Amino acid sequence: MRPGDPHDPLLRQVLPLDAEMRPMPGFALDAVGDTAAKAGDGVIRKYRGRALLVATGSCAVHCRYCFRRHFPYAEEAAAAAGWRHTVELIRDDPGIDEVILSGGDPWSLATHKLAELTDALSAIAHLKRLRVHTRLPVVLPERVDAPLLDWLAALPWPVTVVVHANHANEFDASVDAAMARLRGAGATLLNQAVLLRGVNDDIQALCELSERGFQAGVLPYYLHQLDRVQGAAHFEVDDARARQLHAAMAARLSGYLVPKLVREVAGDTGKRPL
């Protein structure tokens, strides 16, 4: 963050504003239907073939646009009750071939906790891939330490780490080094960003995000329209503007630097392209 700049794009992501308290029609507590999709303690089964584990409710930052800002973590974190039930659910469903560790931020869990889970999952023959959605390599790169890398490198599946960076300024030398360590441990690195008014809703910022991420070894994956969660309305960018920005990115960047523009629709089994 640039000291003294109230419009800094990194500050805007974490700064609580009065605007959040204004009730806005169309903005709900559970914006993406997660409560309805819960299959059991900490497991969300709304994506076809994928089981999403709400591994923990803890994060290293509290993002004001977060789609789970009202999620009942205390009742739902899979690690809280031990992993046994979670692992049974996945074992009993051969339709699941990928486990997604989510949260909260799954890498806010101690490495030995993660290892407990993946040791148990490694006995399940129908699992083919593991994915981790985390902001920690960006907001706390020190978390990418030797024990975490040893854990990662020893996993029996190909691993994808989706880091969530919304602005090029989130990358610096220590983040680059953390990304390099992750790639060294064999992970594929992707980025999922949210289109946020006042943070990255201009063509320059979006192109720089793709280019800067790639420089750190991270490929753009999704550019997400905001989930309409209560308290986040001031971040919303309308669809017409989103499409216009996305088209401008496609016109300017190499194809592999253009993320998919998507939104989450409650009840869908995958993201919906705009």
Ligand X SMILES: *Cc1c(COP(=O)(O)O)cnc(C)c1O
Q: Which residues bind ligand SF4 (CB under 6 A)?
A: 59, 61-63, 66, 68, 103-105, 135, 164
Query: With CB under 6 A, what is the number of residues at the site for ligand X?
Result: 8
Which of ligand X, ligand SF4, none lies near 47, with the C-beta cut-off 5 to 8 A by kind? ligand X
Q: Exactly one of 12, 45, 50, 228 binds ligand X (CB under 6 A); which one?
A: 50
* Pairing relationship of beta strands 219-224 and 188-194 according to DSSP bridges: parallel
The separation between the first and the last C-alpha atoms of the chain, rounded to the nearest angstrom, is 31
- Is 59 labelled as part of a ligand binding site? yes
Counting contacts by CB under 6 A, is residue 127 touching ligand X?
Answer: no
Nearer to ligand X, 22 or 48 (CB): 48
- Segment interacting with ligand X (CB under 6 A) among 44-52, 73-81, 137-145, 152-160: 44-52
Counting contacts by CB under 6 A, is residue 133 touching ligand X?
Answer: yes
Q: Which of 267, 263, 269, 223 is nearest to 246 (CA)?
A: 223
Q: Which of 9, 1, 92, 7 is nearest to 43 (CA)?
A: 92
Nearer to ligand X, 132 or 185 (CB): 132
Alpha-carbon span 107 to 101, nearest angstrom: 9
Task: List all residues 6 or more positions away from 138 whose beta carbon is below 8 Å from its beta carbon.
Answer: 163, 164, 165, 170, 171, 175
- Is 66 labelled as part of a ligand binding site? yes
Nearer to ligand X, 177 or 219 (CB): 219
